[in-house]
Structures are given as structure tokens and as C-alpha cells.
Chain A
Amino acid sequence: SSTSQGNSFLVPGATMATIVMLGALHARRMYNDKKIEEAREKGVEFEFQPDIKATFLRLVPLRSISRFWGFLTSVLQSSKTDLGNRFRWKETRKQISASNENISETSTSVDALSALALGLRRMERLRSAVDVVVPTLSSKIAILERGNYRGERERERERERERERASERARRHFSSELPIWFRPHVYRAWARAFHSNLEEAAKPLNEYASLREFFVRSLKEDSRPIDSNPCCLISPVDGTVLRFGDLKEAGTMIEQVKGFSYSVSSLLGARPLLPSMEDVQQESRVQEKAPRDEDKKSWWRITLASPKVRDPEPASPMKGLFYCVLYLKPGDYHRIHSPVDWNVLVRRHFSGRLFPLNERATRTIRNLYVENERVVLEGRWEEGYMAMAAIGATNIGSIELFIEPALGTNRPRKKLLHSEPPQERIYEPAGAGVMLKKGDEVAAFNMG
């Protein structure tokens, strides 16, 4: 009895200790975040400082965690609905057996009919000598048999339709669905935790069948008016501006955080032939003096996937290369729109890793955006080169392209090495690709 008493005390003790420890960790995390927030408000810029956690993260199976998270958010709710569904499935089964009973009743009456037809046939044989009666009787029997045959076919069709309806009902009930009454509670809790704006959701909350579906929701009409100024470039997503600038000064590097930068060509996978900064300054001095003539090569030569899109207008004004990095929080609207009118010529998919992309990760993991799974769209707009990279993270690991629905991302890892080359696709017709208008929906980040 003492051991059982010991055990009964042990379990709640261990549970309590775990909860207290998790609480303490969370409190410490919140304290750190608050300190960072205050420092940021004072304008303090954090330096890059890799730490042991970042190294440890490389050993964690993040892709499996991400895929399990995606499975959980689309299936978890259906375990609650299983009971409901099982109950409804019983109902459906009852209806099926009831309809089977009527079918069997009708089939017994049909048997009676066919027995009658048989009897009639016998009478016909008996009275075959009676030639006056025979023709009318045989026509009657033929009509009956046709009726019987049609009835049989009708019944068969009815059975088929019943089976179809039952399997349709079963299919609908056994997809991953929240019980309807439960859905708004889950999505309100999510909105409270991640500051989502539920008013803008295009559909009523109880119509989102799972958290995963809610996460990639579209917004009500006119929730995001598009800046109609023809000279402006719009934000493709809802998010926070992390970095922006022009690459003239920084060569072809973008600063991830103070003290660490990554290269544009590694991020995009393109092989931009951006001349070195000396060439650029040398070229621009030459540009100022001599008028641009046809044979002078344009000093911003950027190879895109297809040489056809080299800068064809040597007389155009000087061009610079600009960049902008936008971070989406978990509660943000997660569809990606087109920033300008442009032609998408190439799509590049890097399977990479799935590190988290939060503020702490950008401060501690080097080459974060170059290592993570991402989809790069590259093409041209009226001012020249345009590229957009959508970068996934652990909880939001898959990127869905509306212009190429067949593209699958966040796939189980086949090979352990992470540096497999990107899969590239050049959109047809070559040189024109896929035309997108400013504000068009292009892609979406999916959970898991």
C-alpha cells in the first residue's frame, strides 16, 4: 500500500513540476522578448550572435515536426468529429437498411408479378389452341415483362443512387472537419493568441472546416484596396518591414541582421551578373560623359533564366537594384499578391530546411533565408528585373502557388543533404511566361 501511495503521489508531483518548469521557461521567454522590444524602441540594433540553440536546431527533425503540425491542424479536429460522425454514420446506416427493406419489399412484389407472368404463360400454353385469345394475351404478357424489366432497371438505378448517396455522406463526414459548433471557439482562440482580425474573414467562422483551412482564409471584398498609382510598387503581403534599400551600396548582399549579410544570388538562385562595385562606378562615370549608344552594353546586365529578357532598352534611365524584406506573423493574412504588373518567367523551388523565421532566429541562425525552403518567382516588369521569394518556416512550411497548383512543397526529405539544387520551371510561352496584374493573388503560405 505504501508503494501505491508513493506512486499516487509521484504522478501529480511530476506533472506539477513539469508545468511549473514550462511556465518558468515561458515567463523567461516573455521577459526576454519584452527586453528586446524595449531596446528596439530605443533604437538599439541587435548584432548577430549565433548561440548553442541555433546549432542544436540543426539536429532537430524540423521537417517532420512541420509536417506533423500540418497533419494535426487538419486532422486534430476530426477526432472530435469522429464521435459525431460515427453517430451520423449509424443514422446513415439505418437509412440505408430502411431503404434496403423497401427495396426488398418491392422485390417481393416484383417476384409475385413475375410468378403471375409465369402463370399467365402457363395459361397461354393451356389455351394455345384458343387462337382468338392468344394474340391479346401474349401482347399483355410482353407489356408486363417490359414493365417488369423496366422496374428491375429502375430498382437497380435506385440502389446505385442510394449507395452513391450513402458513400457521399460517409466521405463528407470522414474528411477532417471540426464539429460545426466547435469551430468559432478554436478560431477565436487562435485570433486572440496571434492578434488576427476575424472581421475581415471572407466566410463565417463555422464554415472553415479546419484550422489549416482557416489559416489560409481569403478576405472580404475590398478589405485590401490596391494603390492605383501606376508608378507605385505595392506590398504583396500583410507584414512587418524588416529591411529595405538598394543594392548599389551593399553590392549584392542583403543584411539579415547587423553583423551578418547573405547574398542575393544565393537567395534567388539566379546567377545575376551584377558587375563588381568598381565596374559599376567606372561604368556610371562613362555613362555620364558619353551618351548611351546602341553598342554600349547596359551596365546592369542581369541574367535571368532566359537570355531573351536581358535589358533591351540601352537608352532607358539608369537602373538600380532594390530589395525589401517583409516578415509575416502567424496571425497575419497569409496570401501573397502581385506587387506590380509583371511577367513571371521562371519559378525556382528550394526544398532546404525549415528553421523558424522569428526575430530570435534572424539574430542567431546564419544564412537563415538562404537555408530555408522557399519558392522564387523571377521575371520582368516595366522597369526591368523583378523577383519575389516566399520563404517558409517550421509552422508554415508549405507554399501553394495559384499559378502552378501542382507544385508540392514541404515534402518528406528524400536525401539527408540539404544542398540539393533547386527545381526550376520556365513558364510558357518562353519570354512571356505568366502575366500578373498588380494585386492579383499569386500564392499562399500553408500551415505545416
Chain B
Amino acid sequence: STVVLVFQAPISVPGDESVSSEFKFSIREGDRVRVGEALGR
């Protein structure tokens, strides 16, 4: 079985580095993940 997440999150605007809340994944393809572990921040 498979779970697909689709979600909105802040992105940085080119040239506007003030946006410090840009979303970034903290995983790589092929990683094993478990419930509760961060996928991104």
C-alpha cells in the first residue's frame, strides 16, 4: 500500500531572503521512515 501527502508550505521568493520559514524536506529517496519522524521542517 502507499500513502501520498500533498500540502501547502512556505517557499522562499528569489531575492527575498527575509523569508526564513521556507519549508525543506529532511529525507532522501529510498529512506526508511517511521511514524512520528520528521519528513521536513
Task: Name the residue on B nearest A368 (C-beta).
Answer: B2
B35 touches A320 (CB 8 A): no
A325 touches B4 (CB 8 A): yes
Of the stretches A93-101, A108-116, A220-228, the one at the interface is A220-228
Question: How many residue pairs bridge A and B at CB < 8 Å?
Answer: 196
A204 CA to B40 CA in the complex, in Å? Answer: 35
Cβ of A327: which chain B residues have Cβ within 8 Å of it? 1-2
Within 8 A of A (CB), among B1-41: 1-16, 19, 21, 23, 25-41
Known contacts A227-B37, A439-B36; is A369 also within 8 Å of B1 by CB?
Answer: no
A213 CA to B1 CA in the complex, in Å? Answer: 17
Q: Mark A393-424, 1 if CB is under 8 A from B, else 0.
A: 10010000000000000000000000000000
A357 touches B35 (CB 8 A): no
Within 8 A of B (CB), among A264-311: 264, 267-268, 284, 287-288, 300, 302
Known contacts A317-B19, A390-B1; is A240 also within 8 Å of B30 by CB?
Answer: yes
Q: Is A158 an interface residue (CB 8 A)?
A: no
Partner of A233, one of B13, B15, B40: B40
A384 touches B13 (CB 8 A): no
Of the stretches A13-21, A118-126, A330-338, the one at the interface is A330-338
Partner of A238, one of B2, B12, B33: B33
> How far apart are A359's CB and chain B's nearest CB, in angstroms?
11
A172 CA to B36 CA in the complex, in Å? Answer: 37
Cβ of A393: which chain B residues have Cβ within 8 Å of it? 1-2
A247 CA to B7 CA in the complex, in Å? Answer: 10
> How far apart are A372's CB and chain B's nearest CB, in angstroms?
8
Cβ of B3: which chain A residues have Cβ within 8 Å of it? 236-237, 239, 325-326, 328, 336, 388-391
A244 CA to B32 CA in the complex, in Å? Answer: 13
> How far apart are A351's CB and chain B's nearest CB, in angstroms?
16
Cβ of A383: which chain B residues have Cβ within 8 Å of it? 7-10, 23
Cβ of B28: which chain A residues have Cβ within 8 Å of it? 241
Known contacts A227-B38, A323-B4, A369-B4; is A318 also within 8 Å of B33 by CB?
Answer: no
Partner of B36, one of A227, A319, A323, A391: A227
Partner of A242, one of B16, B29, B40: B29
A322 CA to B39 CA in the complex, in Å? Answer: 11
A324 touches B35 (CB 8 A): no
> How far apart are B2's CB and chain A's nearest CB, in angstroms?
4
> How far apart are B36's CB and chain A's nearest CB, in angstroms?
4
Q: Is A385 an interface residue (CB 8 A)?
A: yes
B35 touches A224 (CB 8 A): yes
Interface residues in chain B, defined as those with a beta carbon under 8 Å from any beta carbon in chain A: 1-16, 19, 21, 23, 25-41
Interface residues in chain A, defined as those with a beta carbon under 8 Å from any beta carbon in chain B: 40, 224-227, 229, 231-248, 254, 264, 267-268, 284, 287-288, 300, 302, 316-328, 333-337, 339-340, 357, 369, 381, 383-393, 396, 439, 445
Q: A317-B21, A337-B36 are known contacts; what are 18 more A-B pairs with Cβ within 8 Å?
A: A225-B36, A226-B36, A236-B35, A237-B33, A240-B31, A244-B27, A247-B6, A248-B11, A268-B6, A288-B13, A317-B11, A321-B7, A324-B5, A327-B1, A383-B10, A386-B7, A389-B3, A391-B1
